[in-house]
Amino acid sequence: MAGNTGGRTAVRVLERMNISVLFGIPGIHNLSLYEGLSSGPIRHITTRHEQGAGFMAYGWGKSTGTPGVVLAITGPGLTNILTPLGQAFHDSVPMVAITTQIPSRFLSGRSGYLHELRDSTVMSSSVTKGSFRASSPEEIPHLVERALRLSVEGRPGPVHVEIPLDYLDEPCGMPPGEPVRREGPSLHEGLAGEAAGSLSAARSPVIIAGGGAAGAAEAVRLLAEKLSAPVVLTSAGKGILPDDHPLCLGARLHFPAVKELLRNSDCILALGTELSPPDMWEEEFPFPDGLISVDTDGGFASSRRGLFLGGRCEDVVPMLAGAVNDRGGVSFPGRTAILGECREALGSVLGVEEELPLLRDTVSALAGALGDEGVLWADMTGAAYCAISEYPCSRPRRFLHPVGFGTLGAALPGGLGTRCAFPDRRVAVLTGDGGFQFTLPELAVGVQEKICLPVVLWNDGGFGEIRRTQDRNGGPRIAVDHWNPDFRALAGAYGIPYFAPEGGAGIGQALESAFQVPTPSIIEVKVRKGARI
């Protein structure tokens, strides 16, 4: 097809906006977009399911802070990526989904056209910052560029753009690039001064840092040290302050000892976090009225009485650090006791006792193999819940976990997306046998694209967390025990290495071997099904 079409122009905009990798699946309705990819520099990763493509884009965005981009058709293509869009929305991860739409002349009513979907933008708007449909070929490049910018502006998140089929094939010129809008701090300086005064006057200040503070790690450290304030992290905030720092209590908001610390604090500063129920493991927590919050989105702050500073942590935290009084000591006397109490309570917090030594060994082996620069992608599984507190991080975005929306199976494709973004960085996946089977066909992507990715498979024969909950509630075990495939044979079918290590040392050795091959590997940790409590 000669000349610039809507489809080719959309791809040129992606190139201009420095998108280097796309994830998606070609279909009869988006081939015009794929024609634009044939002669350009963008690498396309063909996944085995649209959900896998969405989670790879999510993995890219979560680990880089820049938008991951997914291509799909309308109808089932779009519905299949709604789940990763929802995960990205909950986790504030920049992501852009570009999908097609049936021809514009059929949009006014039900036509029976292939892949027709009623009110698709209304549906996708529930899991995105915005969902937009091109109303003409000329609007395509503007919408694509707008989506990429919107995904990282303010509170990051996913954006959806859909393009009717006929517009993709019609002539469409390449417009000049839109001017880049730089967001500055939006808070009033008086509020920053008031917050600094409250923090300086507090006898027992505590800082809670979430994923929104990942870009302000150095300023968070400086602020904490000037205040001698302990720092508690959300799972998304792991690494903002290194776990071995004398003020760091790690990602332990869900531990009784940390909750007691918060109750006794006379000033809590929340940085880049909603303080959502999943962070507290779904328990209601009575945060004090004097809570100080720093975030780009004040929606959650309206439900609490306190001081809200609207702005990016990168802008606001350095202002606070420069304004508070320096207490002259980088220590928190209660740290050792609180961490000791947390270690003692780990089994009861997780609801496991018999499996605890193997859980600790598995997490320790992963930490040893990945080191400071590696990335652990932890799925929704009991082993990952242990890793939230026990896996050490010294840098942000080194522990990635879909805690909010809580999607089973996100870790494998998420890990592939992260490895595409950082091909020289060690990345490993920690997943359960239940969640792994949600997205296991994406192993083929790792084989085809030669992506090294060890998958540590915590195999307890089903949905272990749900099984334990049923046991604790005294009810029967229903629908939680699985027949699983032979994972050794499964690895053989994909032509990838398989390991069945015994104990922590064996897991560590298996990881080192797995990091030497240019494909995924399966490291199966076999767990006896938990006995009834």
Q: What DSSP string describes 48-103? A: SSHHHHHHHHHHHHHHHSS-EEEEE-STHHHHHHHHHHHHHHHHT--EEEEEEES-
Q: Are 11 and 69 in contact (CB under 8 A)?
A: no
Q: What is the pLDDT along the chain (533 residues), one digit of tens a residue?
A: 457 899 999 999 999 999 999 999 999 889 999 998 988 899 999 999 999 999 999 999 999 999 999 999 999 999 999 999 999 999 999 999 999 998 888 887 777 778 888 889 999 999 999 999 999 999 999 999 999 999 999 999 999 999 999 999 999 888 876 655 555 555 566 788 999 999 999 999 999 999 999 999 999 999 999 999 999 999 999 999 999 999 999 999 999 999 999 999 999 999 999 888 888 776 778 887 779 999 998 766 555 668 999 999 999 999 999 999 999 888 899 999 999 999 999 999 999 988 999 999 999 999 999 999 999 999 999 999 999 999 999 999 999 999 889 999 999 999 999 999 999 999 999 999 999 999 999 999 999 999 999 999 999 999 988 898 898 888 899 999 999 999 999 999 999 999 999 888 999 999 999 999 999 999 999 997 543 32
Q: What is the pTM for the complete model shown?
A: 0.94
Give the model's pLDDT for residue 14: 97
Please state, in angstroms and as integers, the Cα–Cα distance from residue 82 to each residue in 6, 153, 379, 401, 434, following that order: 24, 21, 18, 18, 21
Place of tokens 């320790």: 364
Give the integer Cα–Cα distance in Å for 7 and 171. Answer: 9
Give the span between the Cα atoms of 317 and 344, in whole angstroms.
34
| Neighbouring-strand partners of residue 430 | 378, 456
- pLDDT for 354 equals 87
Instruction: Tell me how far apart the alpha carbons of residues 354 and 357 are, in angstroms, rounded to a whole number.
Output: 7
Beta strands in 462-531 (DSSP E): 498-499, 520-526
- pLDDT value at residue 532: 32
| pLDDT at position 302 | 54
Residue 208's beta-bridge partner residues? 232, 270
Q: Which tokens go with 310?
A: 């609207």
In eight-state DSSP terms, residue 531 is P
CA distance 137 to 532: 62
376: amino acid identity, one letter: L
Phi-psi region of 295 (alpha: psi -120 to 50; beta: other; left: phi over 0): beta
In this structure, the chain runs to a length of 533
Count of H helices and E strands in the chain? 20, 17
Within a 10 A sphere around the Cβ of 476, how many other Cβ atoms? 8
φ and ψ of 136, to 5 deg: -165, 160
Strands across the sheet with 95-101, in order?
43-46, 21-24, 68-72, 95-101, 158-164, 130-133
Distance CA 506, CA 502 (A): 5
* Residue 328 backbone zone (phi > 0: left; psi -120 to 50: alpha; other: beta): left
- Distance separating alpha carbons of residues 246 and 438, to the nearest angstrom: 40
Provide Rg for the chain, Cα atoms: 24
Best CA proximity match to 97, nearest among 173, 33, 36: 33
Q: In sequence order, which residues have a C-beta less than 8 Å from that of residue 41 and are 6 or more positions away?
A: 15, 20
